[in-house]
């Protein structure tokens, strides 16, 4: 018995030391990490932007959107990138749809399975105390830190950048629109509240951009009517309030929500296909070059 416990104890100690060593190395690398992005126009937001804007058609742009990204994430991402003097960010096109203010976003750091995904992307740019203050799943955090920081030393911790334009997002299908609406806007058959945290962080993004001379463009991509017409009225009202305040604050808004596209332009009810992304990217490109041709409000 004693021999057994000694061996297990010895092995555990060795493992802990190995993990601590890697943690120390990675903390050092993160502290000295400077991320360079090649592009003056950053395309930021969640999967709608990730699969909806192809940088091939937007000059000098980079798609940094990641699936499920919230304004909370975007704020810290932008703040981190601006910190590097080698980056020259002039414009940020960010997603502004109903889903960006829905309460589902609050769960993303709270539910263990989801938190692993989001912390796994942002652990190097959002400090633990900030995450803890907005509410975080501690087990999810621990699992992520073990995986990302404790198993091997790595000089790059840039998962927050995403993998660029991606029109082949997993788990996309033309399944029932009601299911998609339910996922975003309902919990236990009741309408979710809007995410106060993300509304606050949208405000922080605007202030931060103003202070750093970055032009912001809010983009609402086209969606299928079955989807957007089923969104609860409360969310729509709140969205319209914010929309008005954005316009008051001179944020350029490209609202293409109700734009009619053929069915092959959609990957599912609220995401664009490669073809749809091409169409919308060209519109955004025209808008950036001053050709405000379509449904652009200011």
Partner 1 sequence: MSFNSFDFAIFLPTVFVIYWFLGNRRLRAQNILLVAASYFFYGTWDWRFLFLIFISSLADFVIGGFLQKPNKDAHRKKLLWLSLSLNLGLLGFFKYFNFFIDSFAYTFSFLGVTFDEARLNILLPVGISFYTFQTLSYTIDIYRRKIKACNDPFAFFAYVSFFPQLVAGPIERAKNLLPQFTDKRVFNYSKAADGVRQILWGLFKKIVIADNCSLIVNSIFFNYQYEDSLTLCLGVFLFLFQVYCDFSGYSDIAIGLGRLFGFNLMKNFDFPFFSRDLPEFWKKWHISLTSWFVDYIYIPLGGSRNGLYAKVRNVIIIFLVSGFWHGANWTFIFWGALCGLTQIPYLLLGYNGRYLTYVAKGRYFPNFKELLQMLGVITFMSFSMIFFRSPNISVAWSYLIRILKFDFSLSVLDDYQFVLLIMGLLIWEWMFRGREHGLEISHLTTKVRWCLYFIFIWLILYNFGSNQKYIYFQF
Q: Report the nearest approach of partner 1 to the CB of residue 179 (Å).
A: 11
Distance (Å, rounded) from C-alpha 193 to C-alpha 103?
5
Task: Specify the residue, 173 or 212, whose C-beta has the smaller distance to partner 1.
Answer: 173
Q: Do residues 183 and 104 lie in contact, with contact meaning Cβ atoms separated by under 8 Å?
A: yes
Q: Report the nearest approach of partner 1 to the CB of residue 272 (Å).
A: 16
Task: Specify the residue, 59 or 151, whose C-beta has the smaller distance to partner 1.
Answer: 151
Distance (Å, rounded) from C-alpha 207 to C-alpha 22?
37
Give residue for tokens 């652009």. Answer: 296
Nearest CA to 134 out of 181, 83, 64, 201 is that of 201
Q: Report the nearest approach of partner 1 to the CB of residue 239 (Å).
A: 29
Task: Specify the residue, 171 or 188, whose C-beta has the smaller distance to partner 1.
Answer: 171
Neighbours of 154 (CB within 10 A): 14
Task: Specify the residue, 9 or 135, whose C-beta has the smaller distance to partner 1.
Answer: 9
Residue 219 three-state SS: strand
Neighbouring-strand partners of residue 255: 220
Task: Specify the residue, 132 or 173, whose C-beta has the smaller distance to partner 1.
Answer: 173
Q: Report the nearest approach of partner 1 to the CB of residue 196 (Å).
A: 29
Q: What are phi and psi of 208, to 5 degrees?
A: -65, -40
Q: For helices 196-211 and 71-83, give the axis angle rounded to 10 degrees.
A: 20
Q: Report the nearest approach of partner 1 to the CB of residue 189 (Å).
A: 13
Q: Please give the residue ranges that form the binding site for partner 1 (CB under 8 A).
A: 1, 3-4, 7-8, 11, 15, 112-113, 116, 120, 139, 142-144, 146-147, 150-151, 170-175
Q: For helices 138-149 and 2-31, give the axis angle rounded to 10 degrees.
A: 80
Task: Specify the residue, 26 or 285, whose C-beta has the smaller distance to partner 1.
Answer: 26
Give residue for tokens 């699936």. Answer: 67
Q: Report the nearest approach of partner 1 to the CB of residue 111 (Å).
A: 11
């Amino acid at each position: 018995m004693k021999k057994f416990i000694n061996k297990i104890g010895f092995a555990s100690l060795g493992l802990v030391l190995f993990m601590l060593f890697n943690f120390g190395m990675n903390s050092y690398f993160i502290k000295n990490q400077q991320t360079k992005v090649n592009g003056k126009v950053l395309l930021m937001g969640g999967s709608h932007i990730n699969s909806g804007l192809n940088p091939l058609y937007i000059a000098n742009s980079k798609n940094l959107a990641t699936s499920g990204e919230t304004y909370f994430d975007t704020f810290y991402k932008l703040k981190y990138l601006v910190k590097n003097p080698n980056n020259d960010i002039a414009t940020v096109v960010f997603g502004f749809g109903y889903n960006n203010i829905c309460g589902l976003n609050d769960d993303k750091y709270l539910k263990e399975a989801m938190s692993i995904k989001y912390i796994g992307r942002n652990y190097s740019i959002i400090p633990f105390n900030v995450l803890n203050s907005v509410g975080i799943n501690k087990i999810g955090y621990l699992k992520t830190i073990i995986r990302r920081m404790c198993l091997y030393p790595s000089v790059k911790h840039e998962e927050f950048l995403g993998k660029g334009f991606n029109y082949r997002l997993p788990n996309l299908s033309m399944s029932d629109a009601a299911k998609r609406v339910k996922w975003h806007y309902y919990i236990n058959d009741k309408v979710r509240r809007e995410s106060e945290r993300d509304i606050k962080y949208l405000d922080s993004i605007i202030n931060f951009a103003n202070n750093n001379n970055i032009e912001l463009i809010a983009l609402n991509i086209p969606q299928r009517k079955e989807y957007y017409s089923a969104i609860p009225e409360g969310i729509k009202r709140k969205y319209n309030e914010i929309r008005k305040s954005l316009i008051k604050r001179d944020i350029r808004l490209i609202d293409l929500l109700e734009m009619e596209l053929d069915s092959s332009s959609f990957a599912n009810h609220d995401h664009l296909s490669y073809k749809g992304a091409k169409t919308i990217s060209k519109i955004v490109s025209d808008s950036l070059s001053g050709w405000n041709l379509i449904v652009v409000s200011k």
